[in-house]
Structure 1
């Protein structure tokens, strides 16, 4: 799972979004978002919910929420470890 995919899951956890909306929120090209969504969909983490005009609307699945939570726990511990290490070195 890369940072773009985690960011997509985080945004979709707040509500259904289109590729265009995700691209605008994340600041990443639509092509990159579409490729990441395809990977996430293949893993069962997101699903297509609707087609509005030419925009496909995506939502996060229960499996996607579980994966997001697993990554959250890992990243939270990593950040705590980074803070400990850096603050010991730089007196923060």
Structure 2
């Protein structure tokens, strides 16, 4: 279930609608090579799927399974952030 920040960022972007690889690259600011590798990894896991080709670009969309995994990671990260806040605020009086 563990996803890295790049994967979570891509799924979050796609949860709002389909995007091209070029559009995703504008948002996540990583090299095209690394982005394509990450997209392929997400496709193999069944989190996203290709929807169409436009010239030399690919349009991708999140799958239902990808939405489920994004939600599970959101819940985990939300709880982790709350715990971090408690620990840090105890130490730094925030």
Distance in 1, matches of 2:30 and 2:92, equals: 33
The aligned runs of 1:81-92 (5 Å cut-off) are 81-92=83-94
2:47 is aligned to: 45
1:60 is aligned to: 62
TM-aligned CA deviation for residue 32 of structure 1 = 1.1
After alignment, is 18-27 or 61-70 more displaced?
A: 18-27
Q: Any idea what the Cα deviations from partners look like across 1:36-82, whole Å, max 9, x if unmatched?
A: 11000001000000001111000000000000000000000000000
- In the alignment, structure 2 segments of 5+ residues that lack a partner are none
1:24 is aligned to: 26
Q: Give the TM-score normalised by the residue count of structure 2.
A: 0.95
For 1:75, what is the secondary structure of its paired residue? helix
RMSD (CA atoms)? 0.6
Q: Give the TM-score normalised by the residue count of structure 1.
A: 0.97
2:79 is aligned to: 77
1:34 is aligned to: 36
Matched positions, count: 92
For 1:49, what is the secondary structure of its paired residue? strand
